[in-house]
Chain A
Amino acid sequence: MIYPAVATVIRSLFNRTGETFVGLDNYLQIFSDGRTFHAIQNNIIWVLIFPAAVTALGVLFAVLLERVPYRLVIRTILFMPMAVSLLASGVIWRIMYEQNPDTGALNAVVASVANAVTHPGHYQGARPSQPDLVQGVGDGYQLSQLLAPGDVAHIGFIGFPVAEIPSGAKDAQEPTAQAGQIAGVVWRDFKPGGGGTVGQVEPGKLGLPDMTVQLVDSGGAVKSQVQTNSTGDFSFAGVGSGNYRVVIPAQNFHPAFGGVQWLGSTLVTPAIILAAIWVWVGFATVTIGAGLATMSRDLLEAARVDGATEWQVFRRVTVPLLAPLMIVTFITLTINVLKIFDLVYAIAPGSVIPDANVIALQMYLLAFTGLGNFGIGSAIAVFLFLLVIPVMAFNIRRFRGER
C-alpha cells in the first residue's frame, strides 16, 4: 500500500501518457480546468452542509429516541440505508426525484400544495378556433364584439388534449337566449374522426363544462360570473340593457404545477445531499445514541431536580457530554463526504454530471473514461489524500493517547 501511494505521487508529475515529466502542471490544471474546479466547489458545499446536518439530526434523533419505548424499531428503520449500497440508494432517490408530479413522489407532494394555492384551470393550452375570440387580460380571452341582452355567444376552443375535458361532458347544443339574458356555449370546435365545419356547433363536438365565464360591463367591472354546464352552456340572467363583453378569464388556462426539476443543473447537488443525509442519519443516530447510553443519568437527574428545563438540560449537560462523540461522528462524515462518489454518479443524469460533479467522481472520469489521463487522475488522488491528512493525524494522536 505504500508502493501505490508513492507511485501515485510520482505518476502525478507526468503527462497523460506517462512519458513526459511535467512537474506540477497536473496540479495547476486541477484548479484551472473548469470542470475539475467546479467539482472541488461542489465538494466544498458537501463538506459545509452534510457533516453538520447529519450530526445535528443524529443528536436530535438520539436524544428524542431516549424518550420513546419503540426506539429499536425507529433506529432499525433509520439504519437500514447504511446496509445497502449507495447505488441502490441512488436508484431509490432517482425514482423519488422524477420530475413529473404524476410519477415523482416528491413532486407529487409539492404539486398538491402548489395546485391548492394556484388552482390550475381545466383547459391548459386551449386556443380560440375563430378570430373573433381575442387575447384578453393576461392569458384570458374575450369576444371582440359586444353583446346586448338577447344575444348569444359562440366560443370555440381547440388545441388541447381531450383528457383535459372533465368526464360527463356532453355534445354542445346551439344556445338560445331568453329575453333579458345573454347566453352562449363554450365548446370544443373539433369533431373527432374528421368532418364538421369550423365555427359550427355540431353533433360530435363536446361542450366544455366547468369553464368560468365573466360578463364585463362597459366600465370594465365584472358584473357577473358563471360556470358552464355539462353541454358547455352558460347564461347570464337579469342583465340590464347596454353592451357587455363576454370574457373567458385566464384562470381557465392556468397550467398545473409541472414539478420541480430536482435533477436539473441548479438543484442537483442539494438534491443528492438530501439523499445522502437520508442514508447517513442512521449512522449518526447510532453512534451518538451509543454515547448517550453510557452517559451518567445522575447528572441529568441532578439538573432536572435543580429546576432546569428540558432545553437547559440538553444545552448545558447533554451536548457538552456528547461533544467528543459528536466530533468523532463529524470527522468520520467529513472523510466520507470528501470521497463521495457512488451516490453522485448514480443519481445525477448523464447530462447534469458536470453540475453535480465531485472530486472523487472527476478523478474517476478523467483517469478511467475517455482517453484516460493517469497524470491528472493521480494529481487529483494526491489532492484528495492531502485533504484527509489532518484526519489521519487526528487518528494517530488518538492512538498514541490510548496507549
Chain B
Amino acid sequence: MATRALEIAGPRRSAWRQALENVPIHVFFIVAGVLWALPAIGLLVTSLRPVGLFTVTGWWTIFTGTGGQVGIDNYRHLFDSPLLAGSFVNSILIAVPATIIPVLFATLSAYAFTWLNFPGKTIFFLLLIALMVVPLQMALIPVAQLYGFIGPPGIVKVFLFHAAFALPYATFLFRNFFLGIPHELLESGRMDGANDWRIFRTIILPLAYPAIASFAVFQFLWVWNDLLVGLVFAGNTPPVTVAILQQMRNFGSSVDVISAASFLSVIPPLLLFFAFQRYFVQGLLAGSVKG
C-alpha cells in the first residue's frame, strides 16, 4: 500500500490498550488533525460558494445550514476565463519537460561520476554538491539577460531554467543510488562485450527505477508548485500559480475563481502524493536543501 511509506515501526505491544491510557494525547491529536485539515476544507467550501457570500457569511456556515447554496458555478466561470483555463495547460507544458530533461542528463552524468574515471572528477563532484544549495535567485538575472538575447517562448524559458537548476541535485541523487549497485553487475556486462552506453541502458536504467521515480515525483511537484521562476520568465503564458497570483490583487471580488483555481491546482500534487507516497517522501527529504 502506498500509505506504508509513512509507517514507522513503533512499539507494537498491545497498541489499543496503550491507546486507552493516552487520552490526553488523543485529544491533542484530534485538535491537531482538525487544525491541519480545516483550513484546506475552508478553501474547498469557499470555492463552492457564490462570490457574493464571501464577504457576508463564513464558509463554515454551510455546516450549520445557514450558509446558502453551494455549487460548481465557480469552476464553470474558471473555464470561461481563457487566462486561468490556459494556465493549467501551461503548467503541464512546463512541468513535463522540466522533469524529463534532467532525468535524461543526470542519469548519464551520475553514471560517469560513479563508474568512469576522468580528470578532476572529485573536484567536479564537490562543486556539484556546492552548487546544489546555491539559491536560484543567483541565476535569475543572468539567465534573464541571456534569454533577452535569444528570446525563446515563455514556456521554454521556464522549463529550461527548472531543468538546468535540477541537474546538480538529480546527479547527486542518482549517483548515491548507483553507488549501491554492485560493481560485479557492470563487470559481467563488460565481460559480455557491452560498452558503457549499453551497460547504462540495459543494466543501470532498469535498476534505477526507484531513484528516477523519487526524483521525478519531487521535480514535477517542485515545478508545478513553483511561483518565482514562472513570475520572472513565463510572460503571457503563465503557469497556474502565476495566474492565480495575478487575480489576488482583487482578493475579495475574485475569490470565487481564486479558490476554485487553487483547489484544482492542488489536485495533481495530492494525487501524486497519495499514489507515490514512498517516492514522494524520499525525494522530498533528499531534495529539501535544493536551491
What's the Cα separation between A2 and B128 when bound, in Å?
10
CB-contacts of B249-291 with A (<8 A):
249, 251, 255, 258-259, 262-263, 265-266, 269-270, 272-273, 277, 280-281, 284-285, 288-289, 291
A384 and B272 contact, CB distance less than 8 A: no
- Interface presence of A339 (CB below 8 A): yes
Q: Distance in Å from the Cβ of B127 to the closest Cβ of chain A?
A: 8
What's the Cα separation between A82 and B251 when bound, in Å?
24
B39 and A392 contact, CB distance less than 8 A: no
Q: Distance in Å from the Cβ of B275 to the closest Cβ of chain A?
A: 11
- Using CB atoms, name the residue of chain B closest to A70: B29
- Interface presence of A237 (CB below 8 A): no
- Interface presence of B18 (CB below 8 A): yes
What's the Cα separation between A11 and B142 when bound, in Å?
8
Enumerate chain B residues within 8 angstroms of A82, measured Cβ to Cβ. Answer: 284
B32 and A78 contact, CB distance less than 8 A: yes
- Using CB atoms, name the residue of chain A closest to B58: A103
- Interface presence of A311 (CB below 8 A): no
Enumerate chain A residues within 8 angstroms of B28, measured Cβ to Cβ. Answer: 64
Per-residue CB contact flags for chain A residues 91-116 toward chain B (1 = under 8 Å, else 0) read 11111100010111100100000000
- Interface presence of A222 (CB below 8 A): no
Enumerate chain A residues within 8 angstroms of B269, measured Cβ to Cβ. Answer: 83-85
Chain B binder among A173-181, A312-320, A359-367: A359-367
Q: Distance in Å from the Cβ of A296 to the closest Cβ of chain B?
A: 12
- Using CB atoms, name the residue of chain B closest to A377: B141
B255 and A95 contact, CB distance less than 8 A: yes
- Interface presence of B135 (CB below 8 A): yes
Enumerate chain B residues within 8 angstroms of A65, measured Cβ to Cβ. Answer: 8, 10, 29
Say yes or no: A341-B228 contact (C-beta < 8 A), given A68-B19, A94-B251: yes
A87 and B262 contact, CB distance less than 8 A: yes
CB contact between A76 and one of B6, B231, B244 (< 8 Å): that residue: B6
A87 and B227 contact, CB distance less than 8 A: yes
- Using CB atoms, name the residue of chain B closest to A10: B142
- Interface presence of B89 (CB below 8 A): no
What's the Cα separation between A26 and B284 when bound, in Å?
36
Say yes or no: A64-B29 contact (C-beta < 8 A), given A11-B141, A100-B55: yes
A388 and B43 contact, CB distance less than 8 A: no
- Using CB atoms, name the residue of chain A closest to B12: A69
- Interface presence of B107 (CB below 8 A): no
B58 and A399 contact, CB distance less than 8 A: no
- Interface presence of A293 (CB below 8 A): yes
- Interface presence of B241 (CB below 8 A): yes
Interface range on chain B (Cβ under 8 Å from partner): 35 or more
A289 and B8 contact, CB distance less than 8 A: yes
Per-residue CB contact flags for chain A residues 281-301 toward chain B (1 = under 8 Å, else 0) read 111001101101100010000
CB-contacts of A298-336 with B (<8 A):
331-332, 335-336
Q: Please count how many residues in chain A sit with their CB below 8 Å of the partner chain's CB atoms.
A: 88
A79 and B6 contact, CB distance less than 8 A: yes
- Interface presence of B116 (CB below 8 A): no
Say yes or no: A71-B10 contact (C-beta < 8 A), given A283-B288, A335-B133: yes
- Using CB atoms, name the residue of chain B closest to A332: B288
B227 and A345 contact, CB distance less than 8 A: yes
Enumerate chain A residues within 8 angstroms of B289, measured Cβ to Cβ. Answer: 331-332, 335, 391, 395
- Interface presence of A1 (CB below 8 A): yes
Q: Distance in Å from the Cβ of B138 to the closest Cβ of chain A?
A: 5
- Interface presence of B51 (CB below 8 A): no
Say yes or no: A360-B137 contact (C-beta < 8 A), given A69-B16, A71-B8, A341-B227: yes
Given A8-B141, A83-B273, A293-B9, 7 other A-B residues pairs in contact with their CB atoms under 8 A: A64-B29, A67-B25, A68-B29, A69-B16, A71-B8, A71-B10, A341-B227
Give me 19 A-to-B residue pairs in the complex whose CB atoms sit less than 8 angstroms apart, sorted by A's number: A1-B167, A65-B8, A72-B3, A76-B6, A84-B270, A85-B224, A91-B259, A95-B42, A102-B58, A108-B60, A286-B285, A331-B289, A335-B289, A341-B227, A342-B227, A364-B228, A367-B140, A384-B137, A391-B289
B residues neighboring A (CB under 8 Å): 3, 6-11, 15-16, 18-19, 22, 25-26, 28-29, 32-33, 35-40, 42-43, 46, 54-60, 126-127, 129-135, 137-145, 164-165, 167-168, 221, 224-228, 231-232, 241, 244-245, 248-249, 251, 255, 258-259, 262-263, 265-266, 269-270, 272-273, 277, 280-281, 284-285, 288-289, 291
